[in-house]
Amino acid sequence: MVRFFALLGTGYLVICAAMYFMQDRLLFFPRPNDANATRKLTPYAWQTRNGVNLLTGWLIPAPEPVNAPLVIYFGGNGQDVAEVAEIRTHAANTLYVNYRGYGSSSGSPSETAFFADAEHVYDAATREFEFNGHVILHGRSMGSGVAVHLAAERPVDGLVLITPYDSIAAVAQSTYWFLPVGLLLKHRFDSLSRTDDVSAPALILIAENDRVIPPAHAENLARHWQGPTEVLRVPGANHLTATSNAETMAQINSFILRVGGARD
């Protein structure tokens, strides 16, 4: 019996060690940019350097840039922002940037890197681009945590959070309930802990059938949001289809233009 429990304990420690050392592969899924999309987006290419790291992306200007807000988009952990930029629909100046290690951006992904790069991108973009002075952050899935962090560090006029979470740690703990996630996780993306530092209005979109980030985590974030909060629930949608219908996109665009002070 003693030997059995010793083997069981050893096996558990091996699983914990494997999860610790494999967590980057489980969380980050860097993708190259789609070649067809980048060819179409070439005229809008943008890049900046944060130290030794090159960050690449695209600024898609509004028809009248000086009368429209600046939207900074932070994608999901496996999303190609070039594909999103190619089909963008809202009438704002919109900046899509590849995370470190994604697309043609250099470096390796991590929570610390994403947060530092987001601050750098904000500073560079607000200095370089023409817009009406209003900044809106648009974060999807993992990118919602990057957006919340940036909103706590820089002035913004609103946030659009698509299938967000309270924290990656909470999501992971609900999935890997048998592991001490709090001790193992390096990249916590703890949005809930930053809500007291953000007073900007937020549109929080919740997909009814989200199995990647269960709705309870987005609802918890919404309950603790300190600024004005609009919750948009999408019936029948899952994590990937949350913004796939025209009505949902119209509501997102309406929010962006309303809080972004766009002129008619």
Average pLDDT, the chain: 91
93-97 vs 53-60, strand pairing mode: antiparallel
* Model confidence pLDDT, tens digit, residues 238-251: 999 999 888 999 99
- pLDDT-derived band at 1, boundaries 50, 70, 90: low
Question: One-letter amino acid identity for 233?
Answer: R
What is the DSSP code string of the chain? -HHHHHHHHHHHHHHHHHHHHHHHHHH----PPPHHHHHHHGGGEEEEEETTEEEEEEEE--SSGGGS-EEEEE--TT--HHHHHHT--SSSEEEEEPPTTSTT--S---HHHHHHHHHHHHHHHHHHS---S-EEEEEETHHHHHHHHHHHHS--SEEEEES--SBHHHHHHHHSTTS-HHHH-S---BSGGGGGG--S-EEEEEETT-SSS-HHHHHHHHHH--S-EEEEEETT--TTTTT-SHHHHHHHHHHHHHHTT---
- pLDDT-derived band at 27, boundaries 50, 70, 90: confident
- The pTM assigned to this predicted structure is 0.93
pLDDT at 2: 57
- pLDDT-derived band at 5, boundaries 50, 70, 90: very low
Q: Among 62-76, 147-161, 171-185, 227-241, which stretch is predicted with the lowest mean pLDDT?
A: 171-185
| CATH homologous superfamily, domain 2-259 | Alpha/Beta hydrolase fold, catalytic domain (3.40.50.1820)
Mean pLDDT of 66-71: 95
Query: Considering only CA atoms, which of 127, 166, 132, 135 is closest in space to residue 151?
Result: 135
- pLDDT-derived band at 12, boundaries 50, 70, 90: low
- pLDDT-derived band at 264, boundaries 50, 70, 90: very low
* Model confidence pLDDT, tens digit, residues 118-129: 999 999 999 999
Q: Where are the domains of the chain?
A: 2-259
- pLDDT-derived band at 91, boundaries 50, 70, 90: confident
Which residue's entry shows tokens 């929080």?
Answer: 204
How far apart are alpha carbons 82 and 253 in whole angstroms? 19
pLDDT at 9: 57
- pLDDT-derived band at 263, boundaries 50, 70, 90: low
